[in-house]
Structure 1
Amino acid sequence: MNYVAPLLVGVVYITLMSLIREPHRRQFNAVMVAGAGAAYLSGGGFGAAEFAFTAVVTYCAYRGLRSWTFIGIAWLLHTAWDFLHHLKGSPIVPFMHDSSLGCAICDPVIAVWCLRGGPDVIAWTRDRLRAVVSREPMRQP
């Protein structure tokens, strides 16, 4: 399995999310993680635990409507769930054996970004480039 591609997917996700202005970015990400929490419901292999997990992630997503921290926690929970599915359950994409492992590699990238408050990485990169070119002090995100 290629371990770099899932990392790049996480970076692309974060970059695309930066195109959405706050507070809509946070709210959109809460909806996204709620959907991710239900990804294994159609046959993940852990029976009733799939419903319990979905309920926990849905609660975190609901709290995430007002808190980036809860969105980050939900992505970390999904990371653990992906890893368990890679080891013992069914893959998230039935015809791709390592798809849950790829998701478990991608999700923490998104989680760290969320735990940092979901900053606009496009603006941050633009500010860094300007600072390098003009040799001005850089502001923190």
Structure 2
Amino acid sequence: MDVQSERRFFLLALGVIALYVSPLFLLGENAHIRVHDNLDSNIAWYKVLSESGKITGPLDAKIPQIANGKLSRNALGSELTGIVWLHALFPTMTAYALSQTITRVVVFVGMYLLLKTHFLPEPRWMAVRIGVALAFALTLFWPSGMLSTLG
């Protein structure tokens, strides 16, 4: 296989990832997402944190929207994570869709490069490299973990 074929297959795989996450963008709040670890906790926490104005606040700052203002800031995620800032900068479902897209694209490219550099460098393994990287990018994972799980 030549470089041009590999480039086409690589772009095709990115297209598959785009198709996979497209319902999140097209359907927005009507898209199907798992309730567990999403709607019952993490997404709600990110929304509350972004609306509290305490994203970069001190750890002992109180979050007024939870437990009558008795919950400390340190009970919610660190301000140093990308997903917290996605939820601070975008509407909830857009942030969720972007986090899914970023994670899956980075994971695909990372696995592809790992296989190409260390395990399957010969051109004849092009389809296997891209196929395995695509399969890995489409696996189920804890969405709020972003790259901590698959990265």
Question: Under a length normalisation based on structure 1, what TM-score does the superposition of the two structures give?
Answer: 0.33
Of the two, which has the highest radius of gyration?
Answer: 2
Question: Under a length normalisation based on structure 2, what TM-score does the superposition of the two structures give?
Answer: 0.31
